[in-house]
Amino acid sequence: MNGWNKRILRIDLSESRIDSFVPEDTLLKDYIGGRGLGAKVVYDAGRVDALSPDNPLVFAAGPLTGTTTPASGRVSLSTKSPLTGTMFDSNCGGSFGPALKKAGYDAMIITGKSPEPVFIEIEDEIVAIKSAMTLWGKNVKETTKLLKGNGSVACIGRAGEKHVYLASILADAVHAFGRGGVGAVMGSKNLKAIVVKGTGRVEIHDRTEFEKQKKAIHRLLVASPTISKGLAVFGTPFLVKITSWMNIIPVSNFSKTEPDFELTPFFAKTINETYKPRKRACYSCPIACKREDKDGNELPEYETIGLMSANIQNPDYKTLVEANLLCNDYGLDTISVAGVLGCYSEIRGKGISHAELTNLTRQIGEKEGIGEGLGQGAKRFAASEGCADSAIQVKGLELPAYDPRGVKGLGFSYATSNRGGCHTRAYLVAPEILRKPKAIDPYTLAGKAGHTKVFQDRFAAVDSLVVCKFAFFGAGEEEYANIVSAVTGEVYTSEDLMRVGERIWNIERLYNLREGFSKDDDILPERFFDEQVNGRIIDREEFLKTLEEYYRMRGWDENGVPTELKKEMLF
């Protein structure tokens, strides 16, 4: 078996113990790596408190990571979320994943809690736990600057140190392991940063076939207008004009039809003309969707723009840029920060000014004043204010920037997502908004049970390879099954990848059920069933029938519990 290093690093911070082990071949073949491998490790850890030393942080690469496979420069992180209480995974680009793989490891499992702040330094075979006393209290950019000469840096800012439930982990200062409070988990271990330098190479089983399949994937990416004329030219902000035209960009905490101001300043064309942004690409990525200004400051992605503009009644793009930079420096998830600020804005009854946006963001990062409550997420904050219905979330995770009343399959995927309200679990943005790989009607729930299951399984496998979802605007399971076969020497078909994805989805579901989640949690916020926006609403009866159909298609019982037959088939 090539592609995998067949070596997993294990670090116990309580005991300052470092070792490694060789995983069984079946573990790698059945779960691939990335999200799948992380899910198995987190499930096997049993029931733990999210901020306890026993909650594992699992950084896992895939068999394609560190190769030159297009769009494969990503790595996955799995843990239990302090924000949602669900099993949680997050993946990011940049160079951290390839560095870990080239250092000789498929994954790194971190448990325990150091008695004082530390960082982990890895250079190939040499792994050390070092004091971070001089780094503690610093934010992401300063920490990264101090450590980056030693390798790729993944670190937390002050938000993670203070266990803010919206805290993220930033790799190389701009690539986020976002959502779910994973940065708080890292902070709870007194772990400030991980620095990785790898000088090895990933062994490929069949180099000739690999190069052939790589060229085939690259051609498909270039041939995709969504990639070559959208993402590659404008980055993710190209979506703003599309979602505003479809009237699905959220307004005033998902409660109104149109903003009171023009969205033109937030359009990608306007941003390009005003800022003349430069491209930033992840390792081995021909798409280069990230953007930065002339000074090297990162510019906001679509989700940040969609939620920090009309959703909080902010008409100023420059203010949004400042808030985005603050979030990244403190190590905060911009989607959840914007979501809880939308909730706050609704409860208060007015929009958020320039000064308030930056001040509230800073208060969340510092866990001070009202920021302490906001930093616990929309669900807890709204409940504390006696306004539970103002929290636009699923399973405690704030929704992304697409109003589900106008993209009903995407909304259904929010409700059934294992990690909470998230667009990337099934990524029905592709067929419902961008019409890839083929168009499906966004205004109906008909057929969406099947579409949701297929896309959830697909992207569970994609997150395990670990490949960027944007590549699937051009290529598909067949192309990536071919290239992973060439890399590993293990024969994978597209059907094999889908079966792996289904296995991962079910183990995550079983974890959540063990944690007390139930059918009652597979639901959207009430306002989407009760309040029309743009003449659209979600029919509750149709939604519940679709949920029943979805459970049947998954081989689960009427309560959403995997049957014994389904478990026997998968495990």
* C-alpha to C-alpha distances, 488 to 1, 37, 61, 174, 207, nearest whole angstrom: 5, 16, 14, 31, 11
Kindly state the average pLDDT of the residues 123-143. Answer: 98
115 three-state secondary structure: coil
Provide the pLDDT for residue 141. Answer: 97
Provide the pLDDT for residue 1. Answer: 84
| Cα(472)–Cα(476) distance, integer angstroms | 5
In a domain, 241, yes or no: no
Question: What single DSSP character describes residue 331?
Answer: T
The three-point CA angle 247-310-347 to 5° equals: 115
Q: Is residue 122 within 8 Å of residue 100, measured between CB atoms?
A: yes
Question: What single DSSP character describes residue 311?
Answer: G
Provide the pLDDT for residue 437. Answer: 87
Q: What digits encode the pLDDT tens for the residues 157-206?
A: 999 999 999 999 999 999 999 999 999 999 999 999 999 999 999 999 99
Tokens linked to 397? 């995770």
CB atoms within 10 A of CB 256: 16
Taking CB atoms within 8 Å and a gap of at least 24, the contacts of 88-91 are 88/179, 88/180, 88/182, 88/419, 89/35, 89/38, 89/39, 89/419, 89/463, 90/168, 90/176, 90/177, 90/178, 90/179, 90/180, 90/182, 91/34, 91/35, 91/177, 91/463, 91/466
- Would strands 8-12 and 107-111 be described as parallel, antiparallel, or unpaired? parallel
Q: Is residue 87 within 8 Å of residue 108, measured between CB atoms?
A: no
Contacts (Cβ under 8 Å, ≥6 apart) of 379 = 388, 391, 393, 396
Q: For the chain, give the mean pLDDT.
A: 96
Q: What digits encode the pLDDT tens for the residues 445-491?
A: 999 999 999 999 999 999 999 999 999 999 999 999 999 999 999 99
Provide the pLDDT for residue 354. Answer: 87
The closest alpha carbon to 314, from 399, 251, 238, 249, belongs to: 251
| Cα(522)–Cα(418) distance, integer angstroms | 9
Kindly tell me if the per-residue pLDDT of 408 is higher than 90: yes
The closest alpha carbon to 410, from 420, 422, 393, belongs to: 422
Phi, psi of 144 (to 5 degrees): -65, -40
Cα of first residue to Cα of last residue in the chain, in angstroms, is 21
DSSP string, 131-155: E-TTTTT--HHHHHHHHGGGSEEEE
Contacts (Cβ under 8 Å, ≥6 apart) of 500 = 30, 31, 32, 36, 460, 461, 464
For residue 460, which amino acid is it? A
Does 297 or 373 have the greater pLDDT score? 373
pLDDT category at 295 given cuts 50, 70, 90 is confident
Count: domains in the chain:
1
Q: Is the dihedral of CA 457, 458, 459, 461 positive or negative?
A: positive
Torsion angle of alpha carbons 226, 227, 233, 237, nearest 10°?
Answer: 60
| Cα(151)–Cα(364) distance, integer angstroms | 30
Provide the pLDDT for residue 294. Answer: 87
| Cα(234)–Cα(52) distance, integer angstroms | 42
Provide the pLDDT for residue 257. Answer: 86
| Cα(227)–Cα(281) distance, integer angstroms | 13
In a domain, 304, yes or no: no
CB atoms within 10 A of CB 532: 12
The closest alpha carbon to 310, from 298, 296, 320, 321, belongs to: 320
Kindly state the average pLDDT of the residues 417-426. Answer: 96
In a domain, 2, yes or no: no
Provide the pLDDT for residue 173. Answer: 95
In a domain, 173, yes or no: yes
Kindly state the average pLDDT of the residues 289-311. Answer: 93
Phi, psi of 191 (to 5 degrees): -105, 110
| Cα(528)–Cα(223) distance, integer angstroms | 37
Q: What digits encode the pLDDT tens for the residues 323-369?
A: 999 999 999 999 999 999 999 999 999 889 889 999 999 999 999 99
Q: Is the dihedral of CA 548, 553, 557, 562 positive or negative?
A: negative
In a domain, 57, yes or no: yes
Question: What single DSSP character describes residue 389?
Answer: G
Range(s) of the domain holding residue 144: 8-197
Q: How would you write 503-533 as a 3-class SS string?
A: HHHHHHHHHHHHCCCCHHHCCCCCHHHHCCE
Provide the pLDDT for residue 350. Answer: 86
Q: Is residue 97 within 8 Å of residue 66, measured between CB atoms?
A: yes
| CATH code for the domain in which residue 40 is found | 3.60.9.10
What predicted TM-score, i.e. pTM, was given to this entire model?
A: 0.97
Provide the pLDDT for residue 236. Answer: 96
Please report, rounded to a whole number, the percentage of residues in the chain having pLDDT higher than 70. 100
Q: Is residue 160 within 8 Å of residue 331, measured between CB atoms?
A: yes
In a domain, 310, yes or no: no
Q: What digits encode the pLDDT tens for the residues 30-75?
A: 999 999 999 999 999 999 999 999 999 999 999 999 999 999 999 9
| Cα(65)–Cα(97) distance, integer angstroms | 7
The closest alpha carbon to 63, from 502, 482, 463, 466, belongs to: 466
Phi, psi of 249 (to 5 degrees): -75, 130
In a domain, 97, yes or no: yes
Q: What digits encode the pLDDT tens for the residues 226-278?
A: 999 999 999 999 999 999 999 999 999 999 988 989 999 999 999 999 999 99
Does 149 or 405 have the greater pLDDT score? 405
In a domain, 314, yes or no: no
Q: What digits encode the pLDDT tens for the residues 305-330?
A: 999 999 999 999 999 999 999 999 99
Which residues make beta-bridge pairs with 290? 280
